[in-house]
Structure formats: structure tokens, C-alpha cells
Amino acid sequence: MFEKMIDDSMSKSPWIFHINAGSCNGCDIELVSVLTPRYDAERLGFRLTGTPRQADIVVVSGPITVQTRDRLVRTLAQVPDPKCVVSLGSCPCSGNVFKGSYAIDGPLEKWTHVDVSVGGCTPKPEAIIAALAKATEILKEKRKEMRK
């Protein structure tokens, strides 16, 4: 009984953890602007959290640099299941202009399963909100499957 209640309440409030894997700060600023009064994702239950152990959705921005790679993998391992990985912007998907650099060890798909990707350099906040909404749906399904 309580399990269903907890699941319902958790699906209404997915907490976001943001990993900067060598981003230029453009996508990071846009992600923060999603939480400002203008776009206000907090009314939908999204909330930035400071620790990966409390996160439901992990948002990764930036091409995976060699310096951040190990930290990224370690941080992703700390996120409890079910988790949803969102890649923000063009960089984690392909490497963008840094493609082929010796300092890049991407794409993100190489290190973890990416559930939702957002294109754009940088994406508009509305696109980020749409991606987070999609991630919430995927998360709900994953949770349902986990309870089986």
C-alpha cells in the first residue's frame, strides 16, 4: 500500500542532478534558467539536488572530457535505480566542435544508456522542459517495471 503511495509521490517530484562533463557553461545556464520564475520547472516538481544519491534524473552537459570521464562514471554509479539520463545539448551526443579531440572521450552513449537527448547549442528552455517531461514518463515506466 505504502509502496504505491511512495511511487506516486516520487513520480510527481523527480529530482534532477546536473553533471557538467566539460561543458562551456551555455547549457548549464539554460538548465538553471528552466528553474527561474519565467519557465518555473519547480511547479512541475523538478528540483535540483546537490547529491546524486537523491536524484531521479541525471542531466549531463558537455562533451565527456578525459578529466571528467572517471568522475562522470563514478557519479552515475551512485544514482539509485530507476534513473533516467538526459543528455543536454549537442556536446554529449556527438562531441560537437570538439569531435576528434584528444581531450574528449565521448559520446555519452559510450558510458551509459541515454534515455532522452536534447539537440541544440544551446537548447531553448522549453525544449529542456519537454525533455524533462519525457524523462519523467520514462522514469514512471521504469519504476513500474522494477516493481514487477
Partner 1 sequence: MLPYLKQAVKNLFSKPSTEAFPAGDPPKAAEGYRGRISYDPNKCLNCGMCLRVCAPQCMERTIEKLENGDQKITFSFDMTSCTFCAMCADFCTTKAIKLTDDYMIVGTKPEDFIVSASFVKKAPPPKPQFTPEQIAAMKAKAEAAKKAKEAAAAAAAAAAKEG
- Phi, psi of 17, rounded to the nearest 5 degrees: -120, 130
| Grid cell at residue 40 | 518555473
Q: How far apart are CB 115 and partner 1 at their closest, in Å?
A: 6
* Binding residues among 40-69 for partner 1 as defined by CB under 8 A: 40, 43-44
A 10 A CB-CB count for 140 gives: 18
* Binding residues among 119-148 for partner 1 as defined by CB under 8 A: 119-121, 123-124, 126-127, 129-131, 133-134, 138
Helix H or strand E encompassing 148: none
Binding footprint of partner 1, residue count (CB under 8 A): 30
Query: Binding mask 84-123 vs partner 1 (x if CB under 8 A, - otherwise)?
Result: ------x--xxxxx-x---------------xxxxxxx-x
**How far apart are alpha carbons 58 and 17 in whole angstroms?**
5
A 10 A CB-CB count for 104 gives: 20
Name the residues that contact partner 1, by CB under 8 A: 37-40, 43-44, 90, 93-97, 99, 115-121, 123-124, 126-127, 129-131, 133-134, 138
